[in-house]
Structure formats: C-alpha cells, structure tokens
Amino acid sequence: MNDIALARQRNGQILSHCLDPNAAAELMRQRPNLLSDTRIFLAASHRQAMADAVSALHRVAALPGWQEAVLARAPASARHATALSGVFFGYDFHVCQQGVRLIEINTNAGGGFINAYLLGAQQAGSPLPNRADVEADFLAMFRAEWALADKGRPLAQVAIVDETPDEQYLNPDFELCQQVLAQAGIGAIVCPPSALRLDNGRLMHEATAIDLVYNRLTDFSLDMPAHRHLRQAWEQDCAQFTPHPRAHALHADKHNLVLLSDPGWLASIGVDTEARKHIAAVLPVTEMVESDNGEALWARRKGLFFKPVSGYGGKAVYRGMNVTKRVFAEILAGNYVAQELATPESRLVEVAGQGVELKYDIRCYAYQGRIQLIAARVWQGQTTNFRTPGGGFAPVVIV
C-alpha cells in the first residue's frame, strides 16, 4: 500500500479522543468547535508536492516580471517598497482523488499559534511536531522580519492589530502570540486600529512606540477611512508592518491565480521549468469571469467554484452546481474568478457516539517559501467553518 492509500485508509477509520481535555478546555470553553478531537493523516508525497509548490510560488513572486504585472493593477499602497516578507502566509490545499489542489493563498492566515498550542494538547499517539519547536520557529520569524528592517536594535514592541480583537473568533491566536513574544522579552499588545495614533513620525499605543505591527486586518490595502493613520504609518515607515499591502498584492490577490494558470506567460517572465511543473501539479485552472466567457462558464458551471476577487473567509462564494441564472448574473456583474472544482476528501470522526464523515483541508503556514507548520481544518458545508460539531482545527500526521 502506498502512502496515499495509507493516508486515505486511516482517514476512513474513526479516530477520536485525541485531545487532552484539560489542556484543551481553556480554548474550547467559549469556542466548542475550534478544535477537532481527531487527527488528519497526510501522505508524505502529498506533503512534498505542497512544499515544492510553496517554494516555487515564493520564487515566482520575487521575479521582476511578476511584480511589474501584479503591482500595475494593485492598490497604490501595495507599491510602497519594504524589505519585510510577511509573516504567516497560509497555503490552503484540498486533498482530492486526483491529488492535492491549491485552493487559496492567504497573507494573514490565522490559527498558527492555536495550532502550535494544539500540538501540546494531545493525548499520546501518532508522532507530531513539538509545540515548543514550532513556537520557536514562529518567534524567529518575527525577529527575522525585524532584522530585514535593518534598524540596528532589537525588536522591542509589537502591536497585534485587528478590528475588535476581543470579539474575533480566533482571539486566542492573538493572546498566544502575545505570550510567546512576551516570554522572549518582546512587548506585545493586542488592540484595534483606533487604539493607535501617529506622533512625531512614530506609531504609538498610549505612551509606547510600536516597532512592528502584526497586521491581522482584512482591509488588505489599508484603504478604509478608519485605517488612514495606519496607511500613513505604512507609507511613511513610522512602523514596520507584517504582513502588509505589498505582500497581499504579490501573493494573495485572486487575480494572481489566473496568471499562475497560464504556463506560457509564466515562462515569458522567466519562471523556470521546474517551478512551472510544481505549480501546475497543484493549481486548479482559474480564470476571470467576464461577459465574453460567461456563456461558456455557465455551460461548465457544475465543474467550477466561483469566488470574488476581493473576498476572504469563504464569503460570497458559490459552488457552480448550486448557481441559479439569477446568481450567475450577479457573478457576471461582480468581480469574480472561476476555479476548477476540487472536491476535498473526508475524514470519519465520532460525533455524539456516531461515525460522521466531515470534509477537511490542509493549511500550510509558511515563511519565505518554507513550510513551518501543517494543520488541518475539519468541517461540513460549502466552505470551511468553525460551526461543525466534531470539526475545527486538527493536527496533521505525515505517513
């Protein structure tokens, strides 16, 4: 039996009671579906395909031809130069019958610290990465970002910024990040944008100057009026931002999936044969939805998934087989991409004493083209969510 068949076999067998209830209780008290009481098995060959693709995509984004094409249509804030790469890129994959498929690239992927915590909240069993090692890697990433800023002094103060952070479902991620930074002697505050202000060329939180903004906002270009001061701080280098508008434009804009689906164009800007091979191996063909291809897309809709270019978090997405004429007219009028359908495989979990098949996807947390942690999300429904009994984040075991 090869590794792919072995992973599929193990995911088809009920595995539960993986969580240490005492260790997991704090995170799950108000979020009962945040952590799944199971594990996902992933074939080593699939893991390698993901790693190869992540590395190739990072190299592509560094090419002058790629940057010229992408930044030409990007928001103005994305054209501000920065040495920082961006922390917590998330490459989301579906494991399908035909292999692994890259569904989306995120530049502010949530859950990294939660999934590190999850590694330390497991009962004995399958071999998993060590929580302390993963957190040390994350800490080194923040320090590496600061080193790229070349300020000649240690990182002293980080602001972890999101809208109403106390109300965010992934708020524990912020708190765990804050703890890891604090244990390393780095000050860290969790705050909304309104808690920050500009003062004499520095971004301030009360009387404390901020060195680095860990930016969790979904206003990727910092265009909202409420974020005007952050936009100014970014463009005037009053503080360093990670991730930042430039990273989103170069890596996560869904227009990019259309460019990546064109191997001839990739070759023309200097993408080498090996990188094109690794990208083509995992990327579902993606195309813009436009009036001139609308009729053809409607005819093929059952094999497509429609996503808004500016969307995130599975909002306003449509599986083609469920799309009506009325909804398709809205898609045509909107700014959408159509992606080849990549149906995820399932995992058998125990819910209320019964075996239930739930979907899962794989998130690769990466920095500068290197995977740091692989985690899974288990759910039921059209898109990933944290509303499914038995679902949530789950650790990944490589077989």
Residue 41 domain-assigned (yes or no): yes
For residue 157, the model assigns a pLDDT of 99
- Bridge partners of 106, per DSSP, are 90
Residue 318 domain-assigned (yes or no): no
Domain count, the chain: 1
| E strand map for the chain | 40-42, 89-96, 99-106, 157-161, 187-191, 196-199, 202-205, 208-209, 212-215, 240-242, 286-288, 304-308, 318-319, 336-340, 346-351, 354-367, 370-379, 392-398
Q: Which amino acid, one-letter code, is at 33?
A: N
Tokens 């108000």, residue located: 30
Residue 73 domain-assigned (yes or no): yes
Residue 218 domain-assigned (yes or no): yes
CATH number, domain at 195? 3.40.50.1760
Say what angle helices 64-72 and 44-61 make with each other, to 10 degrees: 70
DSSP string, 241-292: EES-HHHIIIII-THHHHHHT-HHHHHHTT--HHHHHHHHHHPPPEEE--GG
Residue 66 domain-assigned (yes or no): yes
For residue 103, the model assigns a pLDDT of 95
The tens place of each residue's pLDDT in the chain, 399 residues long, gives 899 999 999 999 999 999 999 999 888 988 999 999 999 999 999 999 999 999 999 999 999 999 999 999 999 999 999 999 999 999 999 999 999 999 999 999 999 999 999 999 999 877 999 999 999 999 999 999 999 999 999 999 999 999 999 999 999 999 999 999 999 999 999 999 999 999 999 999 999 999 999 999 999 999 999 999 999 999 999 999 999 999 999 999 999 999 999 999 999 999 999 999 999 999 999 999 998 898 999 999 999 999 998 766 666 889 989 899 999 999 998 889 999 999 999 999 999 899 999 999 999 999 999 999 999 999 998 788 899 999 999 999 999
Q: Is the pTM of this model over 0.85?
A: yes
- Containing domain of residue 143, as a range? 3-254+345-372+379-398
For residue 10, the model assigns a pLDDT of 97
For residue 154, the model assigns a pLDDT of 97
Encode pLDDT of 285-297 as tens digits.
999 999 889 899 9
Other Cβ atoms less than 10 A from the Cβ of 167: the count is 9
Strand order in the sheet with 202-205: 196-199, 202-205, 208-209
The DSSP bridge pattern shows strands 202-205 and 196-199 to be antiparallel
